[in-house]
Amino acid sequence: MNSRPLSPHLGVYKFLYTMALSILHRITGVAATFGFLAFTWWLLALASGPGSYARAMHLLSTPVAKLLLVGFTFSFVYHCCNGIRHLVWDTGRGLERVQARRSGRVVIVAAVLLTALIVWLACAALAPGVAP
Rg (CA), the chain: 20
> Helix, strand, or coil here: 93?
coil
DSSP designation for 67: H
pLDDT at 114: 98
Kindly report the backbone phi and psi dihedral angles of residue 37, in degrees, each rounded to the nearest multiple of 5, phi listed first.
-65, -40
Distances (CA, A) of 102 to 33, 49, 98: 28, 48, 6
Domains of the chain: 17-126 (1.20.1300.10)
Kindly report the backbone phi and psi dihedral angles of residue 110, in degrees, each rounded to the nearest multiple of 5, phi listed first.
-60, -45
Res. 1: pLDDT tops 90: no
pLDDT tens for 83-114 read 999 999 999 999 999 999 999 999 999 999 99
pLDDT tens for 34-84 read 999 999 999 999 999 999 999 999 999 999 999 999 999 999 999 999 999
